[in-house]
Amino acid sequence: MESKTHACGDFKAELIKTAQEICAAGKGILAADESTGTIGKRFDGIGVENNHANRQAYRELLFTAPGIDEHISGVIMFDETVRDTTADGSKKFVDILRGRGIHCGIKVETGLVPIGGTDGETATQGLDGLGKRCAEYYALGCRFAKWRAVLKIGNGCPTEAAVRENAHSLARYGSICQQNGLVPIIEPEILQDGEHDIEVCAAVSERVFSAVMQELFNQHLLIEGLLLKPNMVTPGASCAKRAKPEEIGWYTVRTLGRSIVPALPGVVFLSGGQSEEEASLNLNAMNKLEGCPRPWRLTFSYGRALQQSALKIWSKDTKNIKDTQKIFNHRAKMCSLASQGKWSKELESK
């Protein structure tokens, strides 16, 4: 019988190992890949100037926080951070993280552009020259990458054009990553904006995730060597009918079960505007579900839901590294517990 050729060439064993290590039991990802513009928005919110020294100091305190290697297996960075060092210039961030057994990841998309003829739906840019960039990031020490596709619900969206464009570019990016030894995180984010209820989010998510899965097969990706970073299935942010964590957990797992094959090692959720506690509660609910098959590890790849409290403490006194690191480590621990279905209110308030 003819054996199937995958996109990954010689990197097959390494990709599988990296993907498994990233979603090891009780571990997840810190998304610290805010572009210079996006970190500026976070800093604006707390009155900190967006200059290189502040970005460097903030990332240094996150990456050197005591204890986080027990809960964090990967950190996604922006280009500037991957090349950056500690403020005293003595160590590269990449070396610090790798020395702690944490995989380094890199955001490789370069921005969103509107798809003409749609209601502001978008295509993600960054495929041109991507192979060369991936090879350079591998040489710099990165072992995984991220690419975010954005879809929205309402007024006829997502259209077939947007679903197909984004599924295709996610798979094309994933294929190029695997050819260059980087585990691709495939991120189809369906935004929470809108009045739609949870049923609508479930139906749209099922349609989008299925289309993405199909493209991953069409383009010969090695499923065991990639990770999926989807939204959770929730009601729209402006929907009057709120959902309990148990419902969000159940709908999310049902949707994944209908669209994602068991060969995938892990699903690393984005927090997408949920509060820190909500993001822990909802992930915990999924991992406590009984009678719902979950062949993949279900864990976190949070940006805001890991950093909100830490940023707040830090903004009060940017010299107060110790307390900022303490609160960040607590958040990482709560997410780790949630990824094992062991989170509780008592532990949260400790």
Instruction: State in angstroms the smallest separation of the CB of 271 from ligand 13P.
Output: 3
Longest Cα–Cα distance of the chain, Å, equals 65
Task: Clarify whether 2 is annotated catalytic.
Answer: no
Report the candidate in 300, 294, 271 with the shortest Cα–Cα distance to residue 23: 300
Cα angle 338, 24, 276; round to 5: 30
Contact indicator for 270, 302 with CB cutoff of 8 Å:
yes
Amino acid in the structure at residue 337: L
Residues that bind ligand 13P (CB under 6 A): 31, 148, 187, 270-272, 302-305
Which residue number, 103 or 304, has a Cβ lying nearer to ligand 13P? 304
Which residue number, 21 or 187, has a Cβ lying nearer to ligand 13P? 187
Instruction: State in angstroms the smallest separation of the CB of 212 from ligand 13P.
Output: 15
Task: Clarify whether 187 is annotated catalytic.
Answer: yes
Phi, psi torsion values for 222, nearest 5 degrees: -85, 105
DSSP code, position 154: B
| CA atoms of 320 and 65, how far apart (whole Å) | 12
Contact indicator for 301, 57 with CB cutoff of 8 Å:
no
- The closest residue (CB) to ligand 13P is 303
Instruction: State in angstroms the smallest separation of the CB of 85 from ligand 13P.
Output: 23
Catalytic residue among 34, 187, 206, 276: 187
Cα angle 260, 205, 23; round to 5: 45
Catalytic residue among 27, 107, 146, 229: 229
Which residue number, 31 or 201, has a Cβ lying nearer to ligand 13P? 31
Which residue number, 11 or 324, has a Cβ lying nearer to ligand 13P? 324
Instruction: State in angstroms the smallest separation of the CB of 4 from ligand 13P.
Output: 31
Which residue number, 184 or 272, has a Cβ lying nearer to ligand 13P? 272
Instruction: State in angstroms the smallest separation of the CB of 114 from ligand 13P.
Output: 19
| 120 phi-psi bin (left φ>0, alpha ψ -120 to 50, beta other) | left
Provide the annotated active-site residues: 187, 229
